[in-house]
Amino acid sequence: MMSDSLIPLTVIKGAGHEFIPLPKGENAITADFHSIRTKTESPAHITSGFYKIEAGPERPAHYNFEESKYVLSGQIDILDEATGITHHLVPGDFAFFHVGSKVKFSTKSHGMAFYAVTRPVRFAHPNLEGREEGKSKL
């Protein structure tokens, strides 16, 4: 029996990074797969997804939102322009980007990370749509 005050989970089935091909001619992609407008004291958006990068040109980013990034595979190199330090993140490493952070992403091979950001969906990836539990055909 479910109480009126309880809200059910949203479960995304098969939201794995293997469903995220890079666009033709690109070496990196941001693939948002879930976003909500929070119902907290100070409402904000929370969006999560996968970041994939392969060897190629540096990818600059200047943050006007917060982001947490957790590396799942490969290596992601991040040049922090505030310090001049390049961080070499490998599986199990975590990075937090503050509003105002300015970085350049790169890799010598490939890298995959899961992220959560405080912004609405920008790049919904079509291969991840319709995977909510109850809608998924998996």
Hey, where are the domains in the chain? Answer: 45-126
Q: What is the pLDDT of residue 138?
A: 42
Condensed to tens digits (0 to 9), the pLDDT of residues 52-79 reads 999 999 999 999 999 999 999 999 999 9
Condensed to tens digits (0 to 9), the pLDDT of residues 15-29 reads 666 667 788 898 988
Q: Which residues pair with 35 in a beta bridge?
A: 47
Instruction: Say if residue 42's pLDDT is above 90.
Output: no
45-126 sits in which CATH class? mainly beta
Rounded to 10 degrees, the C-alpha dihedral 128/125/97/11 comes to -20
Total Cβ atoms within 10 A of residue 121: 16
25: left (phi over 0), alpha (psi -120 to 50) or beta: left
The answer to whether the beta carbons of residues 101 and 64 sit under 8 Å apart is no
As a whole number, mean pLDDT of residues 32-47 equals 79
What global pTM score does this model have? 0.78
User: Residue 12: pLDDT band by 50, 70, 90 thresholds?
Assistant: low
Instruction: Say if residue 8's pLDDT is above 80.
Output: no
Phi/psi of residue 95, nearest 5 degrees: -135, 145
